[in-house]
Amino acid sequence: MKPTSVSALSRCAPALTLALQFLLVGGAHAQTAALPPPSQSPAPHDASWLRAKGTLVFHDAFEREETGNDAKAIGNGWNSATADRVPQIKMADLDAGILKISSATKEAGHAAHIHHEAGFTDGGAVVRFKFPGLTKGESLQLGFVDRETKGIHAGHLCYGTLSPTSVTLIDHKTGVMNLEIRQRRQAYLDRKEKLPADLDALLKTKQVVVPWKADTDWHELVLVTEADEMRLSLDGQLVARHRSVGFAHPMKRWFSFLVPSTVWIDDVKIWKVRWNPAP
């Protein structure tokens, strides 16, 4: 039987359409309402929130030397998803107490992906970072991955990305990395066609982009998820916040850096505020 569209129904049964819309909207509200509300404060100070409400589950100041180029050469539980693709190239260098990442993106066919166990539902990471100015257009993507949940490409859940001119927060779990959405989107990308309006509109709801200007100073970055909200702060100031259902994923299993070129990292802290692994 041919599926009946809502618009077709509306011509013959407006009451039924209203009922359907009520159910659809009501369902979405019910899903959101089941989550605890995010902070109502207009500009939460998330480093303070993590310290006051959270448990520090990991800290690394990188005051040591790495042991080579392989996936676990950084030590202290870090792993690299890309190091073993190019064993002859050092992508992670511990130097003067700083993790200096220089991605062999071309040779490895992927941006350097360095990750550590996280393990929280609500919580976040505090990181000191610096773009060293060694390559043009330096950027940093950091966020959360869960490769044990099916239906998400490579387990990509959600990220904050700093580009030279913007900060983006994005829900990948229910956006571009959802396998059904990814497959549908890819067909249009392969044909170099514009995305259909419904898909384009859906994906726009999954992210927020705010203007920002990168420099080569050290900064403290705080990236948190609280219920279905993700927030990114720099040097104590909230820069971006966004709500999307994928941010509420119950298991932020890994904290990950994806680095296409060069960035320096120090003092990584991972805080767990709430732990509720049941979906």
Query: What are the residues binding Ca ion (CB under 5 A)?
Result: 61-62, 97, 266
Which DSSP helix (H) or strand (E) runs through 166? Answer: strand 166-171
Q: Which is nearer to Ca ion, 14 or 97 (CB)?
A: 97
**Residue whose C-alpha is closest to residue 101's, from 137, 138, 53:** 138
Give the shortest CB-127-to-Ca ion separation in angstroms. Answer: 12
Give the shortest CB-95-to-Ca ion separation in angstroms. Answer: 10
Q: Which is nearer to Ca ion, 97 or 164 (CB)?
A: 97
Q: Please tell me what DSSP assigns to residue 52.
A: H
Residue nearest to Ca ion (CB): 97
Cα–Cα distance list, 93 to 90, 134, 154, 261 (Å): 7, 14, 25, 14
CA–CA distance, 248 with 158 (Å, rounded to integer): 10
Q: Which is nearer to Ca ion, 226 or 266 (CB)?
A: 266
Give the shortest CB-122-to-Ca ion separation in angstroms. Answer: 27
Q: Which is nearer to Ca ion, 127 or 208 (CB)?
A: 127
CA–CA distance, 148 with 13 (Å, rounded to integer): 44
Burial of 62 (0-12, 13-18, 19+ CB in 10 A): buried
Tokens of 238: 């909230």
Q: Which is nearer to Ca ion, 100 or 243 (CB)?
A: 100
Give the shortest CB-64-to-Ca ion separation in angstroms. Answer: 9
Q: Please tell me what DSSP assigns to residue 152.
A: B
Give the shortest CB-205-to-Ca ion separation in angstroms. Answer: 39
Give the shortest CB-78-to-Ca ion separation in angstroms. Answer: 14
Q: Which is nearer to Ca ion, 34 or 96 (CB)?
A: 96
CA–CA distance, 227 with 80 (Å, rounded to integer): 28
